[in-house]
């Protein structure tokens, strides 16, 4: 069987929820994975199922059992239909049905206790990926049987290798432990005639409690596992053919980027239409594993490579808009001629686990942008007020231009600000990276600014 890469290249591929939509989608994805010669396939829940599971957990906790039952039946029917369409073998059907019984019992437990902790919520959400991966293993076996009868597909419980801390709802991977377990359980994967199918999004604490990496976490899982098994290539298959120059919902002229460097990618706050969050690729980036992003619905359409070295290094390659930003400005005369002020401030952000994005300072003030959700944390603002006068401006948008040689190109700022000369720029951040120029505008003008800048720089 001829695959897309050299036979000795180890490929991990990940398929998102829409690529798992129904039996036909699963078979199409399995064909893609076969053609690419993937040895480890990481899958999301079937589309919409994670939302259904969250709704189920909340309904079981807060509402009637009748209402919860309706959701359970919806989830059951959807997966049973795929199982029938894929002619899931008896032994696998038994495993799937046991999972569905477990889901119902767990929902009952939540309903009786009227309590759904983050820990319980993670266990509930894990059923999405656990169910879809059973079904996808069968889809994979169907396509393998046809074209590669010597090989088979095997289901792998991600929780046996993807160890995390116990921050339920947004657990963090224990990289060293993962590397150790990957070597132990998947050390020979390259030479085996087996395609492993496993779940994205879920993991386990060292003592066996199910965790999740946070919504959309399957890409992250795939990157973590690619790093864990020392893969040569990571493929992320979704429903759009690559990363766009900007969000096509804002700017219909946006088009797919053929390649982007790790350094540029790391500076992007969001990729195109948020098809994947750049932070999720960090394990692949730090291990220098090239990542391909494409559509399982049109694999031939090509996609985007995210890799260390790229051929083309345009001044502006892509641009992103991040809405719902707040600008927090702290002023105090004590900052003049003093030291340690920034340390005090950032210690407060650290204590509250709030991440700061863009920063500028003057002699006695410092301004920084945060996601507006940070404002829900009243104690954060109170603590900041102990240190300085605090001014908060809401409903702003952060615009970032990503490219190359940004801080060494004369006339770039002029070109940017000429394009949006009637829009007030509230704050600018430039200088820290040659790959990023970002600034803040009023929320109402964010999309217009992106449209004009896209026209000016990308066309
Ligand atoms: N199924 C999970 C979610 O919908 C994880 C993922 O799809 O990446 O958030
Ligand atoms: Mg998803």
Spell out the domain ranges in the chain: 11-239, 316-457
Q: What pTM value is reported for the model?
A: 0.90
pLDDT score at 2: 53
Q: What is the mean pLDDT of residues 321-343?
A: 87
215 Cβ closer than 6 Å to some ligand 1 atom: yes
Find out whether 357 and 444 touch, Cβ atoms under 8 Å.
Answer: no
Q: What is the mean pLDDT of residues 134-138?
A: 98
Best residue among 158, 217, 296 to mutate for probing ligand 1's pocket (most ligand atoms within 8 Å of CB) is: 217
pLDDT at 397 over 60: yes
Q: What is the mean pLDDT of residues 349-375?
A: 90
Q: What is the mean pLDDT of residues 74-102?
A: 98
What CA–CA distance (Å, rounded) separates 170 from 442?
Answer: 31
Query: Lowest-pLDDT range, 136-145, 235-244, 298-307, 367-376?
Result: 367-376
Q: What would the two tokens of residue 329 be?
A: 């400005």
- H-type alpha helices, 194-281: 218-228, 262-267
Q: How many angstroms does the Cα of residue 311 sit away from the middle of ligand 2?
A: 31
- Compute φ and ψ for 132, nearest 5 degrees: -65, -35
Ion ligand 2, residues whose Cβ is below 5 A away: 16-17, 44
Find out whether 107 and 21 touch, Cβ atoms under 8 Å.
Answer: no
Kindly report the average pLDDT of the chain as a whole number: 94
200 Cβ closer than 6 Å to some ligand 1 atom: yes
Find out whether 426 and 393 touch, Cβ atoms under 8 Å.
Answer: yes
> For 47-61, what is each residue's pLDDT tens digit?
999 999 999 999 999
pLDDT score at 72: 98
Q: How far is CA 372 from CA 148, 277, 443, in A?
A: 52, 18, 12
CATH architecture classification, 316-457: 2-Layer Sandwich (3.30)
Phi-psi region of 440 (alpha: psi -120 to 50; beta: other; left: phi over 0): beta
pLDDT score at 441: 97
303 Cβ closer than 6 Å to some ligand 1 atom: no
What CA–CA distance (Å, rounded) separates 290 from 221?
Answer: 16
What CA–CA distance (Å, rounded) separates 119 from 401?
Answer: 39
Reported confidence tier of residue 269, pLDDT bands at 50, 70, 90: low
pLDDT at 270 over 80: no
Find out whether 236 and 293 touch, Cβ atoms under 8 Å.
Answer: yes
CATH of 11-239, one of 1.10.260.40, 3.40.50.300, 3.40.50.261, 3.40.1160.10: 3.40.1160.10
pLDDT score at 221: 97
Q: What is the mean pLDDT of residues 24-47?
A: 97
Question: Beta partners for 195?
Answer: 153
Q: How many angstroms does the Cα of residue 2 sit away from the middle of ligand 2?
A: 30
Q: What would the two tokens of residue 404 be?
A: 């190359």
């Amino acid at each position: 069987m001829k695959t897309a890469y050299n036979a000795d290249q180890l490929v991990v591929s990940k398929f998102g929820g829409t690529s798992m939509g129904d039996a036909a989608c699963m078979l199409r994805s399995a064909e893609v994975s076969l053609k690419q010669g993937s040895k480890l396939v990481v899958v999301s829940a079937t589309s919409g199922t994670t939302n259904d599971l969250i709704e189920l957990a909340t309904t079981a906790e807060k509402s009637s059992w009748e209402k919860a039952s309706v959701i359970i039946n919806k989830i059951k029917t959807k997966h049973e239909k795929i199982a029938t369409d894929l002619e899931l073998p008896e032994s696998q059907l038994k495993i799937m049905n046991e999972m569905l019984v477990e889901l119902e019992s767990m929902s009952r437990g939540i309903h009786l206790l009227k309590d759904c902790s983050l820990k319980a919520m993670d266990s509930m959400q894990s059923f999405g990926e656990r169910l879809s991966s059973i079904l996808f293993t069968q889809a994979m076996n169907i396509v393998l049987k046809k074209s590669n009868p010597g090989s088979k597909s095997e289901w792998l419980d991600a929780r046996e290798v993807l160890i995390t801390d116990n921050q339920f709802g947004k657990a963090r991977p224990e990289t060293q432990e993962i590397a150790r377990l990957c070597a132990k359980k998947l050390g020979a994967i390259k030479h085996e005639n087996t395609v492993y199918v496993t779940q994205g999004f879920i993991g386990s604490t060292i003592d066996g409690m199910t965790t999740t990496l946070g919504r959309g976490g399957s890409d992250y899982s795939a990157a973590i596992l690619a790093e864990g098994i020392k893969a040569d290539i990571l493929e992320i298959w979704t429903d759009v053919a690559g990363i766009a120059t900007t969000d096509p919902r804002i700017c219909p002229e946006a088009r797919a980027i053929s390649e982007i460097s790790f350094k540029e990618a790391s500076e992007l706050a969001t990729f195109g239409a948020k098809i994947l969050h750049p932070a999720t690729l960090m394990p692949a980036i730090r291990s220098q594993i090239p990542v391909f992003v494409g559509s399982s619905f049109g694999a031939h359409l090509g996609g985007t490579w995210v890799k260390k070295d790229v051929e083309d290094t345009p001044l502006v390659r892509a641009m992103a808009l991040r809405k719902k930003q707040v600008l927090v400005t702290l002023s105090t005369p004590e900052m003049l001629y003093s030291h340690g002020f920034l340390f005090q401030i950032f210690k407060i952000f650290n204590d509250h686990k709030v991440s700061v994005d863009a920063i500028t300072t003057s002699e006695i003030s410092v301004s920084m942008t945060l996601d507006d959700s940070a404002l829900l944390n009243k104690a954060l603002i109170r603590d900041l007020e102990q240190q300085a006068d605090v001014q908060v401006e809401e409903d702003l948008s952060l615009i970032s231009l990503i490219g190359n040689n940004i801080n060494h190109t004369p006339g770039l700022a002029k070109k940017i600000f000429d394009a949006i000369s009637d829009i007030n720029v509230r704050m600018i951040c430039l200088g820290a990276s040659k790959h990023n120029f970002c600034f803040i505008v009023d929320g109402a003008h964010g999309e217009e600014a992106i449209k004009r800048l896209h026209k000016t720089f990308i066309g």
